[in-house]
Amino acid sequence: MRRNWLAKAAIATVALSVPAAGFATSAQAATIGGGSHPKAVAHKAPKKHPKSHKSHKPRKKAHNEDYKGKHRRHESFDQRAAAIVKSQEGAPYMYGGDTPAGFDCSGLTSYIYRQLGKSLPRTAEDQFLESRPISKSKAWGGDLVFFHVDSDPNSYVYHVGIYEGGDDMVAATSYGEGVQWQNFAWAGDTVTFGTITH
């Protein structure tokens, strides 16, 4: 009787450890399928964007000569005025003239400022009264240089030019000389400076 019970126990043990042919446990099925985990899921193929989606590749922009980006220095009104007036050097002097055909002193300054969208009165005295007085140390190239009849900074202004820095300006001088680069140090304390931009 004892022998029969031991034999039955041995058969039951073998039956439990060796599955029937054609059947596999879930762990064996995962191993047979090549997976390492019974719950492993096959990777999905990435979704393709619909044809309506545009490429994210940036488009090449056409070169723009007027572009003023971070790497390009922006020129102020005064810098442009100082540069433009130099292009008029050699233009003839003409009393009352305010075009490249001929300039007087205030005609030249009003013409240059007008090219940059600023208006100035027509005479040197009126331009002085219209501008804000500044010291030479605060003057920028492109500001106005005024010549007074004496050292009183409020005395009558008879001449005006466009400041270029130091003791230099560009101005319409007189007949036979026209528009010239000039040093105004000779005028001493009869010179003042004015601005309409800063």
Judge whether residue 92 has pLDDT over 70.
yes
| CA angle, 30 then 32 then 36, to 5° | 40
The per-residue pLDDT for range 117-174, each reduced to its tens digit, is 999 999 999 999 999 999 999 999 999 999 999 999 999 999 999 999 999 999 999 8
Say how far apart CA 2 and CA 148 lie, in whole Å: 139
| pTM given for the model | 0.64
Per-residue pLDDT averaged across 7-23, rounded? 47
Q: What pLDDT sits at residue 14?
A: 44
Question: Does residue 26 have a pLDDT over 50?
Answer: no
Phi and psi angles of residue 19, each rounded to the nearest 5 degrees, phi first: -70, 160
Q: Is the pLDDT of residue 23 over 50?
A: no
Least confident of 54-63, 85-94, 169-178: 54-63
- What is the fold of 77-195? endopeptidase fold (from Nostoc punctiforme) (3.90.1720)
Residue 17 has pLDDT above 80, yes or no: no
